Structure 1
Amino acid sequence: MGANVSQLEREIGTDLFPPNEHYFGLVNFGNTCYSNSVLQALYFCKPFREKVLEYKAKNKRPKETLLSCLADLFYSIATQKKKVGSIAPKKFITRLRKEKEEFDNYMQQDAHEFLNFLINHINEIILAERNAGPVNSNNNGNNSHGKSGAGGASGGTSAVHLPGSKSNSSHSNSTTNSTNSNSNSNSNSTTTNGNSSNSTGSLNGTTSVLDGSGILTATTTPILPTTNGANSEPTWVHEIFQGILTSETRCLNCETVSSKDENFFDLQVDVDQNTSITHCLRCFSNTETLCSDNKFKCDNCCSYQEAQKRMRVKKLPMILALHLKRFKYMEQFNRHIKVSHRVVFPLELRLFNTSDDAVNPDRLYDLTAVVIHCGSGPNRGHYISIVKSHGLWLLFDDDMVDKIEASTIEDFYGLTSDIHKSSETGYILFYQSRDCA
C-alpha cells in the first residue's frame, strides 16, 4: 500500500474495503459530539441515507433548510475522493443553531433530544415543501414526554468531554432545558362495544406509559399531527421510522376492552440490572393494573373503574430506534444520575411484544448502529457511536474512526456493579429490518 493509505484502510485491507463506501469522522465544534454521534448512526442506516441522497438529487430549491444541509453533508461524504478522512459539518451545525435556540450555545446537549428534534423537523420540512408552506421550527423537537436528556425520562441535561477520550474538543458543564409538549399523535380509540374510551392513567393522546402507581415507566417519541389532506400522506420519514403501538385496556368491572393506536418514531424503555433489550421490551408491554387514584374511566360503566392495561407493538418500523433511559432523577440526591446497568443488546432482534393483529410480527432486525454515552453522569460525559457497514464494525469518535471487532460491542453493555462509576454504555440503538437491507 502507498504512503498515503490511512491506518484504517490498512486494518480493513484493500481487497476487503467496501467499494463506493467512505468512512469519514466529523469535526467537533466544541460541544457537538451529541450531533456527530447521531449523524454517523443515521448515515449508516441504509434506507435513511438513500432517501436523504435522493432528496439531494431531486431537490433544486435554493432555500436552505436543515434537511438540505444534512443532504449536502451526506452527499459530501458519499462523493469524497478519499476513502477515509474527516469532514467539518459546519453548515449543518450553523443551521441547527438557527433552527433551535436550545442548540445555539457551547453547552453539551443530549443525543436523544437531538435525534427527536432532527427526525420530527425533517418530517415537517418535507410536509411544508409539499404545500410550499413555512416550517414552524419552534414546534419541533419539544415533544418528548419528559426531557429525555442526557437525562432519560427527564433529562435535557448536558454532558461534557470525558477526560481520556480521543477527542481533543473542549466541552463545558451545563444543563439545558427543553419544554414538555402535550402534542398528540394521530390516534384512534375504539372499544369492543363501539364506545370510545379515555382513561386516567391511560395514554390520553400522549405517549407516556404509567405503572400502577402513576410512575412513568416507558415513553415513545410521538409524531407531530398533520392537519390537511396533502399533509396526511405519509413521508419517507414515516416509511422508515414510524411504528404503531396499541394500548389495550380491560375494565375489571364490565370486562369491556378498549384499544387505542399510537404512532411513534422511537421507543424509550427503562433499564434494569443484568437484563437484555428483549427483557426491557417485555417489561414495556407488561400488564399493569389501574387502581386507586389511577383508575380508568369506563364509558360502558359511566364511572371510574379498576382496569388492566398493556402496550403492544402493532406495526414494526423499518428502522427500530430504541432509547435506553439511562438518566433518572433521584429525589434522595436531588439530581439526575446515570444508570449504568448492564443491558445486553443482541446483533439480531425479534420483537415478541406484538399485538395479535400486528402487521409484520415476524420482522427480524439487525443491529446497525449504537450511540454511546461515556461518563459517570448527565453533567459530565461524551458521545461516540459504533456502526456496522458491509460486515465491518467501526467506532466513530468525532473526527476519529477506528475498526473494532464485533466482540467489542460487549464493552458497551454497561456495568454489573458500581453503577455510579464512569461507564461507556449504549444509549440509542438502531435496528434495521432485514427485509429492507
Structure 2
Amino acid sequence: MDGICNRLLNVKGMVVEDACIVDSPLRPVPVLEIRPRPRRGMLRCSRCGRRRHGYDRGGGVRRWRHQDFGCRRVGLVAALPRVDCPRCGVTVASVPWAGPGSRSTRDFEAECAWPMTVANRKTVGGFLHIAWRTAGDVARRVAERVKASMPSPFDGLTAIGVDGTSHRKGHTYLAVVVDHERHRVIRARDGYGRDVFGLFFQALTPEQRASIKVVTGDGARWIDPCVAERCPNAERVLDGFHIVSWMTDALDKVRKRLWSQARRDGDEKTMKRMRGVRYAVLKNPGDLTGRQEEAFESLRDTDPKGQLYRSWQLKELLRTLLKHPLEQARGELNRWVFRASHSRIPEIVELAKKIRRRRPDILRTIRLGYSNARLEASDNRIKATIRMAYGFHHVTNLIALVMLRCGGPDIRLPQPAI
C-alpha cells in the first residue's frame, strides 16, 4: 500500500499512514484525503533545508492540494512537527512534496504552470479548479524554482534591448530587458527609468558587463548615461522604428495644426480632406488603400503651402535612408537634416534639431543593423500576459508569469519519479 501510494503521488521520502474519501457538506465535491508523514530522520528546516532537531509536534494539521486522480480531488493532510534551527529559529519542518509556505504540492504547481503559459485565466481556473489569485502565487513559486535550476540568463550576453511597458493605470511600468541573441526576456522589474535600469547592471558581474557590446532602445535620454556609466564598452543603438516614429509624430502634429487653422477659417473642404488623410500620411505608400490614395492625391491642391505633403516626403526619405549602406546613408542624412531645417515647418524644424543631436546614434544603428523588433515582439506578448494576469494583486506574480511565458524556461508537466 505504501509503495503504491508513493508511486501514485510521485513523492519520495514519505510514509502513507491512511487514505480515505471525505464527503462533507462544506466541500463542493468529495476529496480523497491521504495522510502521509516524512520518514524518520528526515526533519529539515523548511527555510534553509538543513537537518535540525525536533522542537515540538506542531500546532495541528496542514493540507496541500495535489493532482486529481481521475474525477476525484486529492489532498494531502499531515501533522508536521516544528524544528529548532539556530539560523532561522523555530519553524515548521519541511516536507518532500511541497515548498515552504505553499498549500499545493510541487507536482500540482507544475501542472498549473504549463497551461498558464499557453491558456487564458478562464481555462486555467476552470480546468484545475483554482482561484486566479492562487494561480498568481503558483506562478511566482514555479518561476523561482525554474530560475534556480537554470543557468544564469546573464552569461554570454552580447546584445540586449531595454524598454518599458505599462501594466496599470497611472503611469506604472515594467522595465524589460531582452537578450537579442537568444530571443528571450532576461529581466523584468517594476518601475522605469535610470535607477531601475541601473539595478540590472548591478546584478551583473564585471565579466558579464564586459561581454555586452550592443544596447538597443528608444530615444529615452536616461538610457545613454546609464550605459556609459555601467557598461562603457557597449555601443548605444537606436531602434529604426522609433526613429521613424519621431517623424510620424511630427507629421501628425502638422496635420492637426493645419486642420485647426482650417477650422478657424471656416474652410470645410480643407477640414474634410485633412480628416481623410489622417491615417494615409502615416502609412507606407505600398500599404495605402484605394480610397486613401485618392485622398492623398488631392492633398497637393488642398494643403496650404504644401506643408503636409512636404512633411510626408521627408518622412519617406528618413524611412528609406535607414535601409541604405552606411556611406550612402551618411550623405542622405546630412541632406535630410539640411532640408528639414530649412522647411519653415515648425514641427519639422524642431525634429531636425533632435535628429542632428542623435546623428551618431542613427549612423551606428545603420552600421550595426540591430533593431528592437525582437523587443517589440516581446512587448506584444507581455501586454497579452498583462491582460491574462488581470486580477493579480501583486506585481511580483505578474512578473513571474511574464518570465514563464517570455523568459524561455523549460516548463514541463510532472514526470514520474525514478
Q: TM-score, normalised by structure 1?
A: 0.22
Q: TM-score, normalised by structure 2?
A: 0.22
Higher relative contact order (CA 8 A, sep 6+): 1
Instruction: Give the helix-richer structure, 1 or 2.
Output: 2
